[in-house]
Amino acid sequence: MRITIVTAFPDLIRSYLGFSVVGRGVSSGALDVRVLDLRDFAEGQYRQVDDYSFGGGGMVLMAEPLARAVESLDDQGEAYVVCPTPQGVHLHQELVEELARKDHLVLVCGHYEGMDERFVEEHVDLEVSLGDFVLTGGELPALAVLDSVARLVPGVVGRMEAVRNDSFYRGFLDHPHYTRPAVWRGIRAPEVLLGGDHGAIEEFRRDLAVRRTLERRPDLLARCGIMGYLWGRFYV
Ligand code: ADE
């Protein structure tokens, strides 16, 4: 899979790639990640990428450099263009899985007050939001999308089994985890995890994951349509 990130702050993305599991995945060849510097597609001595918002309000990324950057990828097969913005659909694991099935994902980072809407209308397939809060730019959310998608690509995370068991796999929150020492400040880790009965461990973890999801995020269970299963398991 290929992921291209279009940004006015390429070093921010590159530094992340230099220190992360995803970066290791890129070095090993499991994943192809490229960073396009928006300024390389700008005109003039100052390589301007932003300008004042018509009607007042801060700086807005101009449509032309953004369009040129995305169009420079035209000869590289079908690209799916995603733009992180608080106005987008909320990101969740099923959407991440859908994005991971694309051959070429292009993440376009906004900045300042955002980007010219005409570019969005012409080139962006999907706007995604990390939640109802505002960040100073699209780089952090683009990295969040990159990271969540990349860990689903075989070869990026060592143990695919760990990926499959993580939070949101099958719609549940993750179960709690424990590590050594078995007794920490007088608190003992659950006994079943210290033994070798894998069936019992699996059942224990699943029960805790379900209970946690019921307590903290019942909305997730409703989405999976498993309320019946839960009520049957715990309350009958
Ligand atoms: N850009 C700025 N804030 C954002 C958010 N909450 N989600 C996605 N992109 C953003």
Place domain 167-235 in its CATH homologous superfamily.
Answer: tRNA(m1g37)methyltransferase, domain 2 (1.10.1270.20)
**Residue of the nearest CA to atom 10 in ligand 1?**
85
Task: Give the H or E element holding residue 59.
Answer: strand 59-61
Catalytic residue positions, numbered: 86, 113, 151, 166
Which structure tokens are listed for 60? 């807005």
Q: How far is the CA of 61 from the centre of ligand 1 (A)?
A: 15
Task: Report the chain's terminal Cα–Cα distance, integer Å.
Answer: 46
Q: CATH code for 2-150?
A: 3.40.1280.10
Residues 6 or more apart from 170 whose CB is under 8 A from it? 224
Q: Is the pLDDT of residue 236 over 50?
A: no
Burial class (CB in 10 A: 0-12, 13-18, 19+), 173: buried
Return the closest-CA partner of residue 99 out of 159, 141, 64, 160.
141
Q: How far is the CA of 137 from the centre of ligand 1 (A)?
A: 7
Q: Give percent above pLDDT 70 in the chain.
A: 91
pTM: 0.90
Q: Is 84 in the pocket of ligand 1 (CB under 6 A)?
A: yes
Per-residue model confidence (pLDDT) at position 145: 98
Phi, psi of 86 (to 5 degrees): -65, -15
Residues 63-105: tens digit of each pLDDT: 999 999 999 999 998 999 999 999 999 999 999 999 999 999 9
Strands (E), the chain: 2-7, 32-37, 50-52, 59-61, 80-90, 104-108, 126-129, 183-184, 187-188
Mean pLDDT, to the nearest integer, of 204-214? Answer: 94
**Residue of the nearest CA to atom 2 in ligand 1?**
135
Out of 140-144, 158-162, 208-212, 227-231, pick the least confident: 227-231
Per-residue model confidence (pLDDT) at position 122: 98
The ranges assigned to domains in the chain are 2-150, 167-235
Per-residue model confidence (pLDDT) at position 112: 74
Greater pLDDT, 220 or 69 = 69
**Residue of the nearest CA to atom 1 in ligand 1?**
85
Q: Is the pLDDT of residue 232 over 80?
A: no
Global ipTM: 0.95
Please give the Cα distance from 81 to 126 (Å, whole number).
Answer: 7
Q: Is 132 in the pocket of ligand 1 (CB under 6 A)?
A: no
Q: Is 236 in the pocket of ligand 1 (CB under 6 A)?
A: no
Q: Is the pLDDT of residue 135 over 70?
A: yes
Q: Is 20 in the pocket of ligand 1 (CB under 6 A)?
A: no
Please give the Cα distance from 8 to 206 (Å, whole number).
Answer: 44
